[in-house]
Structure 1
Amino acid sequence: MLSTYVDLSDTVIFFAIPGSSPTFYVYIVLIADYNYRYGHNLIIVYYLVKAPCYMNDTQFRLRPSSFDTLLDLLSETSDPFHERYGKHLSKAQVDELMRPSNETLQEVKNWLNWHGIADPELSTSLDRSIALTVPVFLAETMLNTTYHVFEHAKSQKKTLRTLEYSLPRHLHSHINLVSPTTYFGTTESMRANSFLQSRASGSNLTGDTTPLIGCVDTVAPTCLKDLYNTANYIPTQISRNGIGIPGFIDQYASFSDLTTFTQDFLAPGHQRNLHCEATVVGIQLTCKLDLFCEHLRAGITGGDDGFESFLDWLDFIATVPDDLLPNTFSTSYGDDEQNVPADFAVELCSGFAELGARGARLMFTSGDTGVAGALCETNDGVFRPAFPARQLPLCGGFSNLFARPSYQEDVVSAFLIADGNNNAGLFNTTGRAYPDVAARGQGFQTILDGLVETIDSTAGSSPTFAGVIALLNDFKLAQDGTTLGFLNPLLYANPTALNDITIGTNAGCGASGFDAGVGWDPVTGLGTPDFVELQAII
């Protein structure tokens, strides 16, 4: 007797013959029902070249069974007015919510089996994704698309991608993302937002940690402690509090430079160890911008394929036990939102939500190039939002992809009313507004290859603010044993706990950009941190 699966809406009939070993499947497609779903309107900076016969590493990221529940719980545990505030989920609880249903796993495997890919050829990650290596021609058949080798016009980097792909209709509710497909992230766009200036002639450091006069042109840790009111706080929860810093595009940690930095910039007794974890052996990261955190943990990932590697990092972090998970993450990488396909961006943000549900806080730089983005190019002449920049200036604005969350509504609406018709038509007035907060981004003193370098970049802003959050987590751990987690609702409910910045602009590429003003604005967000004031609201 045959067991039968019939989906008349898709005109697909599937027969499984039980009792056979191995099981045989007959998959009859009465009408090809590939429904176009995934495409990407890319600014073309690539030349198309002929694609040879490649083997293609492909990953199918599956839809979690209870992601909506996870979002609801994240909202409750992050709402300072909710009874569940601060009651973050454990790794085991998150794993259960993020696990795909048995139906999802079986549907996808059945489809792959039908294309001649046997179960032993499939590898799974946390049972959340399925990875396989297939010839390009088979991937093209499966995804109803055509792959090409694209060559970047400036860097000559070649990458195998497609401009659109499709899935059978009955898999739309089971597969969130197929990767790599339409995302063209490279070292050109997935950039480390930093600029090195040459060491000043004759400048030498000693062990003296006294900040330079005025902290105007250069910034050292002591200056930041004074700026953000952390100088008098002594951490007590060092063993269970730390910052994680993921690294990409083949950047790596320099242990010798870290030693030099702590010797030159930090007082004796304040030196910290660097602990590294690898997702791909041999690829590490730079972490020279750690300023006054407690434990520094480096999350190492491989390759230079932009956010493709970020997905690997998120998979790795999902395996980290609760007692080893950093409470705060700082990321000094970004892209322009227009470069990131919608399905890819949503999948990344799902991973960020998973970390937030576990009580971790993620900080992202917003870039250094103003409202026009990194390349000064858009498809339609409007402002170009950054991704996943939601935290720090100088690039500020409004997302074209994500809607504005409720906790932002009051302050952003007030800004839009005050701003009137300025920049009308150049940005999405209903989009998720950024940045959320600000921090110093100029004159950072770092060590590179044993020498002092000065960095002007939001790559310094993000770890600076993350350092303040780490100290707040230390304070909260000492109080009640919990961490802040996703603290945006708390910050937006208490804007006076930050220093409002009212002068400035984020112009770029000839565009006037936005202006800073009283209250939240797309240049400096809610403002810079005041540690003592923030202590008072937690």
Structure 2
Amino acid sequence: MLAFLSLSLFCLSFALSIQASSKLSPLILHERRSHIPSRWLLARKHDASAVLRLRFGLKQSNIHKLEDYLYDISDPTSSNFGKHWTPAEVAKTFAPSVETVRVVYEWLTENGIPSESLKISASKSWIEVNTTVEEAEKLIHSDYHVYRHEFGQEQVACNEYYLPEHVAPHVDIVTPSVHFDAAIRPKPMTRDTALMKSDITVVNTTYPGVGHCDTQISLDCLRALYNFHYSPSKSSLNSFAIVEYTPQTFNQSDMDLFFTNYSIPELVGRPPFQVSIDGGYQQTFNQSFDYVGEPHLDLQYGMGLVTSKLNVTLYQVGDAVNPNTSFNNFLDALDGSYCTYEGGDDPTTDAIYPDRQTGGYDGPPACGTAKPAAVISTSYGYNEADLTSFYATRQCNEYAKLGLMGVTVLYSSGDSGVAGNGQQCLNDDGTQSANGTRFNPSFPASCPFVTSVGATQIVAGNSVSDPEVAASRVTAGGVFYSGGGFSNVFGIPDYQKDVVATYLENFETINFTSAAYNSSGNSRGFPDVAVNGAAYVVAADGEFILEWGTSASSPTMGSILAMINDARIAVGKGTIGFINPMIYSASFRTAFNDVTSGSNPGCGTEGFTCSSGWDPITGLGTPNFEKLKELWLALP
């Protein structure tokens, strides 16, 4: 459980500074939800005598400087380039101020909350009190109702709430309140892979070398495409990790089949280095493609590309029964301060441990239990519209903090073009449906503090020496287009302003208007880069099959960046950390192969089109390892 202190005891450390002074200030709207989320219905007014665990997420110090801090160590022109922070420095810099704690404390006690009933987290990031619904409604001037999902789950929420004007600047969030937008899924997140069970292509012959890369991608194809021929020498000082969410799991016999076929005997019988988070484990109750396809794609190529000299870390997250295991649960394990940052995890969206379900993980939540790898690749994602902007922003800020600590975070950009996972598009009221007309950006790919990876492919009949195009595939089993577009939540980062402006100036819509997407020119565009994501040969369920998706692109890019870290470490330099300001600089753009053909249809449109330079389908293009390595080696 999270660590708590009695707030009254905490306040003794500065009790003399607290005077009982009634502060009368007008109420202001703090948060409002515009609509009831999809598949939820209003069930009833909540019982006035029911007990709520009311939590107040406190405003973090210096959070407005977060982006500046990150750019200061990530911009190659900065004198502080590469001077990464320690976790302790990060926690200290962003901890709430004593003034924030004092103001919220005074407000609560002045409104009849006994000081002895208030608790504060050990990090001083949030205040909690158990109160009745009636008391909570009076305190934040709201009405609590019970909502029921079509799957049967119930949720306590309100439509809006108010805080005194002098208190509001010190509070980021109140829970429970308006935050229950995340859709319930049978899996924690949607896999970014377009391959469906009815659409599996079984490979009878796997081709070594690069003679058939237009129909079957192999390790050799990727090395040839991206000039990626490198053997690591400083593996003991380097790290590369891939994230999976139980029950998605690998099967060692399939791993051995892959590495035997591609003549890498050193990896036969050798699993990745597994770090269990919140009960994560290799389940054996189902080893069909639906459960092993994603991990096998990620691990077979991630491990194969960095060779046996670097032991890839597998972060296996969550037990097999909790459907809400989330990115936040994973981030808690990497950074203990995140467990309580800005109110902590959201029980309506994130898994809460101990999990008392049969077969659930009944241990304490993982907080700071896993060391962050230097490069982390994840091929899972939400739609931005699944989440509140607060939830997405809170998580995005944590990726920035990891960047401060020298971690490179990669996310696949999605497989549905300009549509969201499940081919969901936005309606005018912000809800999602298959027949919506507005583009639906993915998350975390749209976070400006991660590197988002799109997908390309080789045109049929072409070779690895020919230019690639944006990935696309349409079959009876589904469609696959490289995800990309413009965020509806995050503003445009400085490193991207010129390339986005250039693209929008030259882009002409064909069968949709600017109302279909955030065309302001002031929002984050994604992806940042692209890597082949078509027809990867994967061993799964005892046979070789082909897989498509940006799920393939992200771990491949991660492998390339991990080897660049190795080259830097070999000459006594640090890891590359947050790479976006570098790769968007004029010199680094020349190290990417520009992709100028293709589009990413969705939402009843042809989507965006590729162009010279950056575009919201393939980003800056595909990497040239040798050019990137030399550029990074030239930096401090």
Give the TM-score normalised by structure 2. 0.71
Could you tell me which amino acid in structure 2 is paired with residue 409 of structure 1?
Answer: K
Indicate the residue corresponding to 2:81 in structure 1.
Answer: 85
Alpha-carbon displacement from aligned partner over 1:425-481 (angstroms, at most 9, x marks no partner):
332232111111111222233344555443322222222211211111122222233
Could you tell me which amino acid in structure 1 is paired with residue 315 of structure 2?
Answer: A
Tell me, in whole angstroms, the C-alpha distance in 2 between the residues paired with 1:202 and 1:70.
48
Tell me, in whole angstroms, the C-alpha distance in 2 between the residues paired with 1:112 and 1:452.
62
Shift in Å, 1:279: 4.3
Cα pair distance change 1:161/1:191, threshold 3 Å: farther
Tell me, in whole angstroms, the C-alpha distance in 1 between the residues paired with 2:295 and 2:380.
12
- 8 A Cα contact 1:468 1:531, kept in partner: yes
Residue 392 of structure 1 pairs with residue 443 of structure 2: no
Tell me, in whole angstroms, the C-alpha distance in 1 between the residues paired with 2:183 and 2:333.
21
Give the TM-score normalised by structure 1. 0.83
Could you tell me which amino acid in structure 2 is paired with residue 392 of structure 1?
Answer: V
Tell me, in whole angstroms, the C-alpha distance in 1 between the residues paired with 2:607 and 2:220.
33
Tell me, in whole angstroms, the C-alpha distance in 2 between the residues paired with 1:174 and 1:348.
19
Alpha-carbon displacement from aligned partner over 1:348-396 (angstroms, at most 9, x marks no partner):
1111111111111111122111213235332324322222214133221
Residue 315 of structure 1 pairs with residue 312 of structure 2: no
Indicate the residue corresponding to 1:45 in structure 2.
Answer: 39
Shift in Å, 1:299: 5.2
- 8 A Cα contact 2:445 2:526, kept in partner: yes
Tell me, in whole angstroms, the C-alpha distance in 1 between the residues paired with 2:175 and 2:533.
34
For residues 276-315 of structure 1, the aligned pairs below 5 Å read 276-281=274-279, 287-288=295-296, 289-290=298-299, 291-292=301-302, 293=306, 294=310, 295-298=312-315, 300-301=317-318, 303-305=322-324, 309-315=326-332
For residues 126-525 of structure 1, the aligned pairs below 5 Å read 126-130=123-127, 140-153=137-150, 158-179=154-175, 181-188=178-185, 190-194=189-193, 195-197=195-197, 200=201, 203=204, 210=208, 213-230=211-228, 232-248=229-245, 250-254=246-250, 256=252, 259-260=255-256, 261-265=258-262, 267-270=264-267, 273-281=271-279, 287-288=295-296, 289-290=298-299, 291-292=301-302, 293=306, 294=310, 295-298=312-315, 300-301=317-318, 303-305=322-324, 309-319=326-336, 324-374=371-421, 375-380=423-428, 381-390=437-446, 391-393=452-454, 394-420=482-508, 423-429=513-519, 430=521, 431-493=523-585, 494-525=588-619
Moved more, 61-70 or 355-364: 61-70
Tell me, in whole angstroms, the C-alpha distance in 2 between the residues paired with 1:470 and 1:59.
40
Which of 97, 107, 110 aligns to 2:93? It is 97
Tell me, in whole angstroms, the C-alpha distance in 2 between the residues paired with 1:247 and 1:59.
30
Tell me, in whole angstroms, the C-alpha distance in 1 between the residues paired with 2:546 and 2:80.
44
Alignment RMSD: 3.7
Shift in Å, 1:304: 3.0
Alpha-carbon displacement from aligned partner over 1:241-263 (angstroms, at most 9, x marks no partner):
22333444x43433536743545
Tell me, in whole angstroms, the C-alpha distance in 2 between the residues paired with 1:267 and 1:478.
24
- 8 A Cα contact 2:117 2:129, kept in partner: no
Shift in Å, 1:97: 0.8
Which structure 2 segments of 5+ residues have no match? 1-10, 284-293, 337-366, 429-436, 447-451, 455-481
Tell me, in whole angstroms, the C-alpha distance in 1 between the residues paired with 2:139 and 2:215.
57
Matched positions, count? 513
Cα pair distance change 1:238/1:424, threshold 3 Å: same
Cα pair distance change 1:216/1:160, threshold 3 Å: farther
Partner of 1:484, secondary structure, is coil
For residues 65-84 of structure 1, the aligned pairs below 5 Å read 65-84=61-80
Cα pair distance change 1:479/1:512, threshold 3 Å: same
Tell me, in whole angstroms, the C-alpha distance in 2 between the residues paired with 1:396 and 1:322.
34
Tell me, in whole angstroms, the C-alpha distance in 2 between the residues paired with 1:118 and 1:304.
37
- 8 A Cα contact 1:211 1:219, kept in partner: no
- 8 A Cα contact 2:275 2:370, kept in partner: no
For residues 13-52 of structure 1, the aligned pairs below 5 Å read 33=27, 35-41=29-35, 44-50=38-44
Tell me, in whole angstroms, the C-alpha distance in 2 between the residues paired with 1:322 and 1:473.
24
Partner of 2:566, secondary structure, is helix
Could you tell me which amino acid in structure 2 is paired with residue 496 of structure 1?
Answer: T
Tell me, in whole angstroms, the C-alpha distance in 2 between the residues paired with 1:488 and 1:151.
42
Tell me, in whole angstroms, the C-alpha distance in 2 between the residues paired with 1:212 and 1:136.
66
Tell me, in whole angstroms, the C-alpha distance in 1 between the residues paired with 2:53 and 2:282.
22
